[in-house]
Amino acid sequence: MLKINGISKRFPGVQALQDVTFEVQEQSIHAVIGENGAGKSTLMQIIAGVHQPDAGTLQFHGETVKFTDPSEAQAKGIAIVYQELNLAPNLSIAENIYLGLEPRRSSFFLERQKLRTATVSALRQLGLHHDPDIIVQTLTLAQQQLIEICKSLVRNPRLLILDEPTSSLSESESAILFRVIADLKANGVSILYISHRLPEVFLLCDTITVLRDGRHVRTVARSATTEAEAVRFMVGRELLAFQRRPVEPKGDVILRVNDLSKKGQYEGVSFELRAGEIVAMAGLIGAGRSETALGIFGSPPPDRGDVLLRGSKVHFREPKDAVMAGIAYVPEDRKMMGLVLSGGVGTNISSAALRSLARGPFVDQMAENRLIGKYVSRLRVRTPSFQQRTGLLSGGNQQ
């Protein structure tokens, strides 16, 4: 139903895709996997009309198509759920889901009751029970991701593209999404599924395509490969298997949290973190995980409770206080809270360390470049230069 023929795409300083060719079968779930920067999201955005290829063609249901914008792809029955959410934050849930499809009494007036009723029905398909009039920006990132999925489903697509759809979802929410995907397939919809989570790829998908460095490596039936082989094709080398042995942390207590509480967000949270230890904070949407972490970071501070850092009680009134004490925070929403997408890669990396790079009123450029180079190399960020605009990187490289 979809033929991708020799697709290539170049952005400033980056060859994102090079001669990618494969086919997606009718009524199938087709995974596209690869490391960060492999070109997965760029390819999906070309199929959805966001970008236009420099070379190559697309055939959809036997017709050669060339989309100049997303509305043309939508008119053909192609819908996409972006890795980077594409919602209007100041509009309600109902207005976002039915944006452009609103039931109207006239050119100027909406059928509000019909809009609410249709939204409630769409939300129930994903097990959601939100008030349709809630403003989207008040929802958590995971809730917004589910709204984005609803927005695509109401357009009755023939081809649905899901780009990392479970990245913010809990296990139970993912299970609901998987059921919806299976129902869509049974009703004749084809799915292009992008994910780093190989267990769910092998659970859901019929066919797997591997991209590496913007090139097509292999397309294979799921039943004809294994997770280990898929990883080998993704990275281009054999990875040695290892078994993690349980390690008893022996370091000193670095962070102790006692009875941390904030009305309506979290209550009575207590734990400790030792040197060299990784502590996971798990829970369903709305359980207060992110709010607790932000409370420790001083954004905003808790109503009551104690935070002890290396045995000394601290009270961070704002994030700057936590940063000065040596605490860093990686937010779940990098676009809104983590990065300046219009700024360069280097500027984003060094901005949190300007105090240590300052020489009077000036920044030591050589020291700054060494710092940026160190972390670009250490985290294997794929960028053509330190000046590359951060918003042009793939989602994984931004993270």
Per-residue pLDDT tens for 241-273? 555 666 666 789 999 999 999 988 899 999 999
Cα gap 316→298, rounded to integer Å = 5
For residues 48 and 104, the model is more confident at 48
pLDDT, the chain, mean: 88
For residues 185 and 248, the model is more confident at 185
- Does residue 390 share a domain with residue 325? no
> Looking at residue 37, which CATH number applies to its domain?
3.40.50.300
**pLDDT at residue 237 above 80?**
no
**pLDDT at residue 8 above 80?**
yes
The average pLDDT across 216-223 equals 95
Per-residue pLDDT tens for 292-340? 999 999 988 999 999 999 999 999 999 889 988 989 998 887 877 888 8
Of 65, 84, 85, 82, the C-alpha closest to 73 is 65
- Does residue 143 share a domain with residue 17? yes
Range(s) of the domain holding residue 394: 334-399
**pLDDT at residue 354 above 70?**
yes
**pLDDT at residue 240 above 60?**
no
- Does residue 266 share a domain with residue 175? no
Which one of 43-57, 99-113, 154-168, 385-399 scores highest in mean pLDDT? 43-57
Cα gap 184→178, rounded to integer Å = 10
- Does residue 223 share a domain with residue 339? no
What's residue 221's pLDDT? 95
The average pLDDT across 351-359 equals 85
DSSP state of 68: S
Its pTM stands at 0.70
At which of 181, 213, 235 does a domain end?
Answer: 235
* pLDDT band, very low/low/confident/very high, at 194 (cuts 50, 70, 90): very high
At which of 286, 309, 329 does a domain end?
Answer: 329
* pLDDT band, very low/low/confident/very high, at 185 (cuts 50, 70, 90): very high
DSSP E strands in the chain: the ranges are 2-11, 14-24, 29-33, 55-60, 63-65, 78-81, 159-163, 190-194, 207-212, 215-221, 253-262, 266-274, 304-309, 312-314, 358-359, 362-363
At which of 235, 262, 297 does a domain end?
Answer: 235
- Does residue 362 share a domain with residue 313? no
CB-CB contact of 274 with 251 (8 Å): yes
Between strands 190-194 and 159-163, the pairing is parallel
